[in-house]
Amino acid sequence: MQIAFLVAPEGTEQVELTDPWQAVRGAGGTPRLVSTRPGRVQAFHHLDKADTFAVDRALTDTTVDEYDGLVLPGGVANPDYLRLNARAVAFAKGFFDAGKPVAAICHAPWTLVEADVVRGRTLTSWPSLRTDIRNAGGTWVDEQVRICESGPNTLITSRKPDDLKAFCEAFLDVFAGLGKKGASR
């Protein structure tokens, strides 16, 4: 299982990158850090700089076909940057077009709103995205984790860092092909 983690050059909430990354590794998968440019990305702990991480692949050097699924970590600045980058939006949308699972936490659904893939789906996020999701045709719920199987792929969403354990368990279950239709946790 090879999983893309799409992040901006800076602004990713570190724990929303590192916990899912370790979960993929712990399940025997291969996480790959994908960004809009090569080099290193600057993660944050809320508004404070945290660690930097090496980019495995720049968006210009990779395709959706190389991965089994996509994880979109949050942080306020990260998805705000990504949703303004046409290549990042197209990459995220490509997973939906290919019928591959996508997992997004906290503010990450902003990128999905921009990709126009939330219409008709039920998802959760950081509460401030509620109106954006509804305006994009999605249904917002306040749940720890939401698994939405609509169309050919599955979308797994979660609200915040406190939900990471449940988020990781849910997306690993789905990514491994063990998700149940209509499940919500």
Residue positions annotated with a catalytic role:
107
CB 165 within 8 A of CB 20: no
Residue 84 tokens, joined: 């303004």
Q: Could you give the residue ranges of the DSSP H alpha helices within the chain?
A: 14-26, 77-82, 86-97, 109-114, 130-135, 164-175
**What's the CA angle centered on 167, arms 90 and 20, to 5 degrees?**
70
Instruction: Tell me the CA distances in angstroms from 44 to 73, 79, 125, one per residue in order.
Output: 12, 13, 19
Q: What is the β-pairing status of strands 102-105 and 48-54?
A: unpaired
Q: What is the β-pairing status of strands 145-150 and 153-158?
A: antiparallel
CB 148 within 8 A of CB 137: no
